[in-house]
Amino acid sequence: MGPPGSRYKEAHFRMKKKDTSTSKKAKAAHEPRKIKPHRWKRRLLVKVGLVLLVVVALWVVYLDALVRDKFEGKKWSLPAQVFARPLEIYEGRGINPELLEYELKLLNYQLTKVPERQGTYSRQDSQFLIHTRGYDFPDAPQKSLALQFSVTQDRVTALTINGQQDVSALVRLEPYLIGGIYPAQKEDRLLVRLDQVPSSLVSMLLATEDRNFYTHFGIAPLSILRALVANLQAGKAVQGGSTLTQQLVKNFYLTQERSIQRKATEAVMSLLLDAHYEKDEILETYLNEVYLGQAGQREIHGFGMASQFYFAQPLASLELHQSALLVAMVKGASWYNPRRFPERALKRRNLVLDLLAKDGVVSDQAAQAAKAKDLGVTPKPSFSINRFPAFFELVQRQLAQEYQTKDLQTDGLRIFTTLDPQIQHAAEDSLIATLNASKKSKAADLQGSVVVTMAESGDVVALVGGKDPRFDGFNRALDAVRPIGSLIKPVIFLEALRHPEKYALASLLDDEAFFLTFENGETWRPQNYDKKSHGKVPLHEALARSLNLATARLGIELGVPNIIELLHDLGLEKEISPYPSMLLGATNHSPMDMARLYQVFAAGGFRVPLHAVRLVSTHEGAALSRYPFEVRQMVESTSIYLINKALVEVMQEGTGKGVQRWLPESLVVAGKTGTTNDGRDSWFAGFSGDYLGVVWIGKDDNSATGLTGSSGALLVWGRMMGMLPQRPYEATEPPGITQIRVGVADADGELNCEHPRVLPAIEPLASGLPLCDQQRSGSWLQRLFN
């Protein structure tokens, strides 16, 4: 033991030491705890990793939703396809061999010595051999057939089908694709199902683009690595590692941007697509999505549309060498364009065939036979955008009454129209030839339009909107509203003949000068074209010679409001001012309006709506809208019979007789010329037993043309009708009609019955008729007892 002092110091020291330790703990409790640097970094990385994981997860969820939404929804905006009528061939059908060959060429049928393949034909004088293509019409599919027939006097004779004669058979060729109603992105495709695609095409596609398509899970890492090595060795991109699934994702969902981010997105979306959907569904979508060409501003997508675009054939009917060419173009549709770079395309196609033979899909012999064939593409695309713009506009206007523009641009509807390409061609050529041949006016300034319909049904079979039929601009057939001149006269004479107690074809009209003075002091003085008066003239002759004075007097006697009412009944919807000048055609209407008006004459007094659309179906072929034949009688059969007889006389003896130079003698036609003041407008409307045609010629600035209806529009109509096989106009005499013999007045107004004329008339007869052979007015019963 030490001294007391030392013990005290020791104890004090221990206490002090203890207090120091306690104060340090207390101080530490109030100071922030220091974390070692490596622990802080590790925790930060964990947090960042968790955030990135969440971001990636959200990104994948977003991509998954994007993949599902588009793939399970409406994949594409499909343009509506607008077709002409299908060409029907049957025993006895009227056909012009030159126009038939024109349509075959329009459909891209190839002229060969022996037409063994679909889409080929041969011609030896009037004998045709045609190997048709199949086509899925909405009502029934038409198989590919081998036709042989002759054209004798513009009629199909000796028709055989696949070597067998069948006089009752009717064969339809595929309809010409006029154009489409396209969405904003201008993509065109024709959807096909996987079972509609030739198996050889699928095998070629997989052999060249993705051999392991059915075994990988959307991406092929080994292929990507192999392509990376090859590209590094070559110093440039020489090989791709993308699977078909990746190609589909790039084209279907993404842009063509080249970046790591886009490539990563493509890979993830490919994995998701493969995880969600069957391989066949992915492959089918690829077959409809892949880009295979360009037609102006319109992109050709999918093998179905490419088959039509390059071969004018359905995909299912392609031969081995044709399928190989389409597969070859997958690598670069522009680079291997067979129309621009045929040698390059041929080399690539043959490589595809070699790969197919190497994989044992086809024999070496089949591959060599396919390689020996040429590319087989049509010289031009099988269709262009809206080849017939005037008619196409009419179709769009009629569709707009029932369908929204969006539906027409995106739902892939198939629209079957009434257009007859042969008649359209005849109308275009006739208008251009007449305008170019005009010597009374500068052809460069003249314009014109043509409307042709079926006389009985109202089908619009041809429509020309101007002298440049390919120009998609002002449509004169629909929108050129001009004075109609003498085209109104048959309506006035029809109104008179509807009152048989007062008027008949033989009734004498007064063709003397007169004038009317109106309340404002203005005077109206009509005059004839020859500036002369002709005294008493039979009604039928006044129409045949298109006499203005007789017509105006008759119209005033009948009453202008009554004439206007009849015009509305016959189909003119536009408001017409009730001035006497309208009796001589001072009322403005379009060629389409005149077609609507004269359709009633051509249809024997029945009003038939003019229409350009027959059927609208889905792209699968289900019918959506049909447009059945509609008819309503507007004029009594007796009255229309008489006026049409007078219109036949116009063409045989009157202002329309010049047409006889173009038509065969056996073709009876009816019609009326029309000319407006100073020859500003040249009109003609006429019909046969099959067709009604309306022609207008004039200038857009409304200046004089120097043409009359006879020297202008009639020539177009005559040229056109002379090219078309058709039936003559024949009207069945209705009950209530009798034949009368009338005399001709001489210069002194005396009745001359030496050479009487036989005319039809409605019983009981009107009074005051210049009858011969003791015939008098009244009923047959009255005449019997008189």
Q: 335: which DSSP letter?
A: T
Between CA 309 and CA 290 the distance in angstroms is 14
Sheet with 291-295, side-by-side order of all strands: 187-189, 298-301, 291-295
**C-beta of residue 555 within 8 angstroms of C-beta of residue 579:** no
Between CA 246 and CA 270 the distance in angstroms is 6
The secondary structure of 545-609 as a DSSP string is TT-HHHHHHHHHHH-HHHHHHHHHHTT--S-----GGGGGT-SEE-HHHHHHHHHHHHTTSEE--
Between CA 48 and CA 363 the distance in angstroms is 59
Between CA 727 and CA 714 the distance in angstroms is 19
**CA 107 to chain CA centroid, nearest Å:** 14
Between CA 1 and CA 3 the distance in angstroms is 7
Between CA 606 and CA 486 the distance in angstroms is 22
Residue with token string 């003075």? 517
**C-beta of residue 328 within 8 angstroms of C-beta of residue 351:** yes
**C-beta of residue 188 within 8 angstroms of C-beta of residue 219:** no
Please, what is the Cα angle at 82 between 77 and 85, to 5 degrees? 155
In this structure, the strands spanning 516-517 and 523-524 are antiparallel
Q: Is 181 helix (H, G, I), strand (E, B) or coil?
A: strand
Q: Is 180 helix (H, G, I), strand (E, B) or coil?
A: strand
Please, what is the Cα angle at 160 between 159 and 164, to 5 degrees? 145
Annotated catalytic residue, options 307, 382, 486, 546: 486
The secondary structure of 672-729 as a DSSP string is EEEE-GGG-EEEEEEE-SSEEEEEEEE-TT----S--TTTTHHHHHHHHHHTS--PPP
**C-beta of residue 723 within 8 angstroms of C-beta of residue 426:** yes
Sign of the four-CA dihedral 549, 551, 557, 562: negative
Task: Clarify whether 486 is annotated catalytic.
Answer: yes
Exposed/middle/buried for residue 698 (C-beta within 10 Å: 0-12, 13-18, 19+): buried
Output the six-digit token pair for 336. Answer: 């291997």
Between CA 316 and CA 198 the distance in angstroms is 6
Beta-ladder partners of 673: 684
First-to-last alpha carbon distance for the chain, in angstroms, is: 184
Beta-ladder partners of 127: 124, 150
Between CA 201 and CA 196 the distance in angstroms is 11
Please, what is the Cα angle at 15 between 11 and 16, to 5 degrees? 115
Output the six-digit token pair for 498. Answer: 């509807």
Considering only CA atoms, which of 190, 201, 420, 199 is closest in space to residue 309? 190
**C-beta of residue 209 within 8 angstroms of C-beta of residue 244:** yes
Annotated catalytic residue, options 103, 174, 187, 209: 209
* Omega before residue 526 within 30° of 0, cis: no
3-state helix, strand, coil in the chain (%, to 5): 40, 20, 40
Between CA 480 and CA 461 the distance in angstroms is 19
Question: What is the set of active-site residues?
Answer: 209, 486
